Chains A and B, each alone.
Chain A
Amino acid sequence: MSDEAGAPTDPTRRRVLAALAGAGGLALTGRAGAEDAPAPDPTKVPGRPPSSLGERSPHARLERQSAFGAISGTPLQDLHGTITPADLHFERHHAGIPSIDPTHHELLIHGMVERPLRFSLPELLRFPAVTRLAFLECSGNLRIDAGEETTPQFLCGLTSQSEWTGVALATLLREVGVKPGAKWLLAEGSDASVMTRSIPIEKALDDSIVAYAQNGEPLRPAQGYPIRLFNPGWEGNTSVKWLRRIEVSDQPFMTREETAKYTEPIGGGRARQFSFTMDARSIITTPTFPATLERGWHELRGIAWSGRGRITRVEVSLDGGRRWQDARLAGPVLPKAHTRFTLPFRFEGAPMELASRAIDETGYVQPTVEALIEARGIGSVPYHLNPICHWGIERDGRVLYKPLAWG
């Protein structure tokens, strides 16, 4: 990661770039080619004509960061506002990205229903559409062993936000007619792991979406093309991609992803199961490693979110958690959505330690790592970890992540 913004070796240029990165969280590159041959004055040569497909400036390099061959994280430190471009949405696949021809893909809904039905994509598109902006986060979204040279992307890049459009699952369940006594449904994907999760019927009738579009365009293959389940505010694994089947039942199915995985030990010989909702959380995105700050004014920026509703407040500390003050929230503040927070501050050359904690409409306050461990035990890993995270600013302006005291 560190070469993303820190590659240039000329100290002056490096400082300027670092200062810019610190001020705006910009993804700057300064590639050799650009330095060798300065671009001509853009006011003196005609520009390019329109094209069928847009592209990013070669100077704005935005990339996901892969790990384990099974995940890739969103570059949180390089983004502004709250929308994640679809090609930068985090990925978590359990057996790769399938290639699906939508003309051969159907959604089957059966089980405890009056009328088992198969829906093609064109048929799903004829139902009333619903659209909402919401985050999607993997419940395993914290590197507890991260060292000082850690970016937000590496630390917790498995959260992203999109505008999702599709059919309310409640609409489809009315179409098939759910029988009395139905309490759960199984969502099954058409990937090579044939991913399955059990979903309580209350959620399905509340706000689950069978989504076919993301940020206005058809889902990307990595996000479930042609259709996926989307459960706002819930751990990402329940939003089953490449959705092919929903089976309505009176009990959960106890699949591998809700027993052996996606359960967390909580001490006392117990493990927590069906822990769906993502607790409130925040992360500072600017300034973070690998930025180096010039003295003077900067703006602390970050995102906060809660699976239980709206963020009501984000508190920020500049002294490692001794004193807290309210950050500004950029509206609109939507339920179950990433919310941008900001706070201008001055760096005067004395060490600082930045931290943020989110508070949601239930009154939940993002906990310290110590409070989390006290509540659940040191072995409650790797799911649903949302501790306050700290970033230190050294005397020379370097910003370093403060590793968590995990045991």
Chain B
Amino acid sequence: MSPKAPITHAALVAVAFLAFGCTGPRPHETRSEEADPAMPTRFDLGRPATHADIAAVDIDVRPDGTGLPPGSGTPAEGLALYEAKCRHCHGENGQGEPFDRLVGRIEGDAFPFGEAPRTPRSIGSYWPYATTVFDYTRRAMPLERPGSLTDDEVYALTAYLLHMNDLWPAEARLDRASLPGVVMPARDRFVRDDRRGGREVR
């Protein structure tokens, strides 16, 4: 489809990283920001949100650990919870079925997914951030009773899943100080979208 010369993979990655810092709108997407005299900057609508209002729903956790609550858990504690609340969906030892596989590393921590479509994407092989395991488990799991786990239980399950992926010691206690330090095998595998329209298929 593209008449252009092939672009090397290194060049693609370079373009992707360059694009990281300039995600602004393309020329055809820009809109006029001309001031409309009938349009005030503010309408004085909405009510102030207090710290308590925000704390009640501000549950997100970021890769640097921002948002992690107090509490802790160990893989052993997580195993008991996993068997009781997770195994029926995620299988024995997190091997998956009927739903997502959670456990599994790939030899040499290779990332063969682009060439091998059936390679299972597990936490150990595909997830770039350990904090996402905590965030998602706390907000959405277990499927039947989302949001029912205590923070200690979420730490314990996260510790168990990281341990099963050989990313956390069996005896160690996971907490908000230690979780952001877990470096995931796939952390540096993700590049920003480099599609920009035009003739080239990417």
> How many A residues are at the interface, by size bracket?
35 or more
Q: Once bound together, how far apart are the Cα atoms of A255 and B136, in whole Å?
A: 7
Take A273-B190, A276-B193, A375-B202 as given contacts and tell me if A381 and B117 are in contact as well, using a CB distance cutoff of 8 Å: yes
* Smallest CB separation, B117 vs chain A (Å): 4
Q: Once bound together, how far apart are the Cα atoms of A403 and B123, in whole Å?
A: 33
**Residue of A whose beta carbon sits closest to that of B111:** A269
Q: Once bound together, how far apart are the Cα atoms of A107 and B197, in whole Å?
A: 34
Q: Once bound together, how far apart are the Cα atoms of A309 and B30, in whole Å?
A: 11
Q: Which residues of B contact A269 (CB under 8 A)?
A: 110-112, 114, 189
* Smallest CB separation, A314 vs chain B (Å): 16
For B157-194 the 0/1 string (1 means CB < 8 A from A) is: 00000000000000000000000000000100111111
Q: Which residues of B contact A202 (CB under 8 A)?
A: 23-25
B135 near A270 with CB under 8 A, answer no
**Residue of A whose beta carbon sits closest to that of B10:** A268
Q: Which of A270, A275, A381 has the most CB of B within 10 A?
A: A270
Take A202-B23, A274-B193 as given contacts and tell me if A265 and B113 are in contact as well, using a CB distance cutoff of 8 Å: yes
For A250-285 the 0/1 string (1 means CB < 8 A from B) is: 010111100110010111111111111101100000
Could you list 23 A-B pairs, sorted by A, with CB under 8 Å?
A108-B49, A118-B48, A123-B45, A196-B60, A202-B23, A207-B29, A247-B60, A253-B60, A256-B132, A256-B135, A260-B126, A271-B113, A271-B114, A272-B193, A277-B195, A362-B26, A363-B197, A375-B202, A377-B115, A379-B112, A379-B116, A379-B117, A381-B117
Q: Which residues of B contact A407 (CB under 8 A)?
A: 117
Cβ 8 A contact of A126, one of B24, B45, B191, B192: B45
B195 near A119 with CB under 8 A, answer no
* Smallest CB separation, A368 vs chain B (Å): 7
B111 near A275 with CB under 8 A, answer no
**Interface set, chain B 11-53, CB cutoff 8 A to A:** 13, 23-26, 28-31, 39, 41-43, 45-49, 53
B128 near A254 with CB under 8 A, answer yes
Is A296 positioned at the interface, with any CB of B under 8 Å from its CB?
no
Is A194 positioned at the interface, with any CB of B under 8 Å from its CB?
yes
Q: Which residues of A contact B70 (CB under 8 A)?
A: none
A174 near B194 with CB under 8 A, answer no
A259 near B23 with CB under 8 A, answer no
Q: Which residues of B contact A16 (CB under 8 A)?
A: none
A contact set with B: CB distance below 8 Å: 94-95, 108-110, 115-119, 123, 126-128, 171, 174-176, 186, 188, 192-194, 196, 200, 202-203, 206-207, 244-245, 247, 249, 251, 253-256, 259-260, 263, 265-277, 279-280, 308-309, 360-365, 367-368, 371-372, 374-381, 407
**Interface set, chain B 103-155, CB cutoff 8 A to A:** 110-117, 119, 121, 123, 126-129, 131-132, 135-136, 139-140, 143, 146-147
Cβ 8 A contact of B114, one of A110, A117, A267: A267
Q: Which residues of B contact A380 (CB under 8 A)?
A: 114
Q: Which residues of A contact B96 (CB under 8 A)?
A: none
B46 near A194 with CB under 8 A, answer no
A260 near B111 with CB under 8 A, answer no
B146 near A95 with CB under 8 A, answer yes
Cβ 8 A contact of A200, one of B23, B121, B123: B23
Q: Once bound together, how far apart are the Cα atoms of A31 and B122, in whole Å?
A: 48
A364 near B198 with CB under 8 A, answer yes
Cβ 8 A contact of B28, one of A126, A247, A251, A309: A309
Q: Once bound together, how far apart are the Cα atoms of A260 and B201, in whole Å?
A: 24
Cβ 8 A contact of A273, one of B2, B23, B192: B192
B114 near A95 with CB under 8 A, answer no
* Known A265-B114, A274-B193; further 18 A-B contacts with Cβ < 8 A: A94-B140, A117-B47, A117-B48, A123-B45, A127-B45, A174-B41, A202-B24, A206-B25, A251-B62, A259-B132, A269-B112, A271-B113, A277-B193, A279-B197, A280-B197, A308-B197, A365-B1, A368-B1
Q: Which residues of B contact A267 (CB under 8 A)?
A: 9, 114-115
A194 near B111 with CB under 8 A, answer no
A194 near B59 with CB under 8 A, answer yes
* Smallest CB separation, B193 vs chain A (Å): 4
Is B63 positioned at the interface, with any CB of A under 8 Å from its CB?
yes
**Residue of A whose beta carbon sits closest to that of B143:** A95
Cβ 8 A contact of A245, one of B43, B57, B194: B57
Q: Once bound together, how far apart are the Cα atoms of A105 and B104, in whole Å?
A: 40
**Residue of A whose beta carbon sits closest to that of B102:** A260
**Residue of A whose beta carbon sits closest to that of B57:** A245
B114 near A268 with CB under 8 A, answer yes
* Smallest CB separation, B91 vs chain A (Å): 17
Q: Once bound together, how far apart are the Cα atoms of A127 and B43, in whole Å?
A: 7
Take A193-B140, A279-B195 as given contacts and tell me if A110 and B49 are in contact as well, using a CB distance cutoff of 8 Å: yes
A274 near B192 with CB under 8 A, answer yes
